[in-house]
Amino acid sequence: MNRLFGKIVFITGATKGIGRSCAFSYAEKGATLILTARNSELLDALKEELVRKYGIKVYSIVMDVRNSLSVETAVSSLPDSLKNIDILINNAGLALGMDKVYLATPTDIDTVVDTNVKGMLYVTSAVVPLMLKKNSGHIINLGSVAGDAAYAGGAIYCATKAATKAFSDGLRIDLVDTNIKVTNIKPGLVETNFSNTRFKGDAKKAKNTYKGIDALTPADVADVIVYTTTLPENVQLTEIALTPNKQADGRTVHRD
């Protein structure tokens, strides 16, 4: 039984990494997709590829999750037929640098916090009222094992992922009298463009992040997310941590 056929799935940060893999995984299951990102060219290319390959309905929105007005406008402008959102995947996120926290620039601090925390809050606050109208839905927040324990050079990013956990838990409490589920997905090392962004284009530093370990792929994480959203209505997975073999937690990694 395909529980996802015809479901409406809203994905932020959809053009790269885990978001992109989620788009393909849900498209393969016959879901209708609402994809958002800041880069219109990448968004258009992704939409075209998904429609061509799977023949599904894809609605794309150029949106900056850091801007509350951008989010409100994007969600309110959805066609009525797409406002019955079944699954929200708050995937947009990033890290910048691995300096000691007091050396980070205000601009980098704002970018990370505004994207990872405020962006998640803005999108969730815009989508939850739509889910409440039909008293059903599933919110997936992309956290990280970094939210469980800080590591050197990651104080700001780790703080945002700790916030993701706290927000997910609080939102679940707020929605406990409804049929809306909330799940915090916490990956360990996933080989994506994440490290390239963190090191601001330094490909050598980015590659060293995954040296000596068979890191998770975006598709691995997408598979877990899809599984989480296909369980029976009475089953809610509140939190899932996943790491590659030879990574114990956010700070302990064995490299060959």
Residues 6+ apart with CB under 8 A from 93: 13, 115, 116, 119, 120, 142, 160
pLDDT in tens, 13-36: 999 999 999 999 999 999 999 999
Of 99-108, 197-206, 213-222, the one with minimum mean pLDDT is 197-206
pLDDT in tens, 63-94: 999 999 999 999 999 999 999 999 999 999 99
- DSSP result, 15-78: TSHHHHHHHHHHHHTT-EEEEEES-HHHHHHHHHHHHHHH---EEEEE--TT-HHHHHHHHHTS
Domain definitions of the chain by residue range: 8-242
Overall pTM surpassing 0.85 (yes/no): yes
| 8-242: CATH, from 2.40.10.10, 3.90.1150.10, 3.40.50.12500, 3.40.50.720 | 3.40.50.720
What pLDDT score was predicted for residue 200? 81
Checking if the pLDDT of 1 tops 70, the result is: no
* Catalytic residue annotation: 157, 161
Q: Distances in Å between the alpha carbon of 127 and those of 12, 29, 138, 176?
A: 12, 22, 11, 17
Question: Which residue carries 């959805």 as its tokens?
Answer: 78
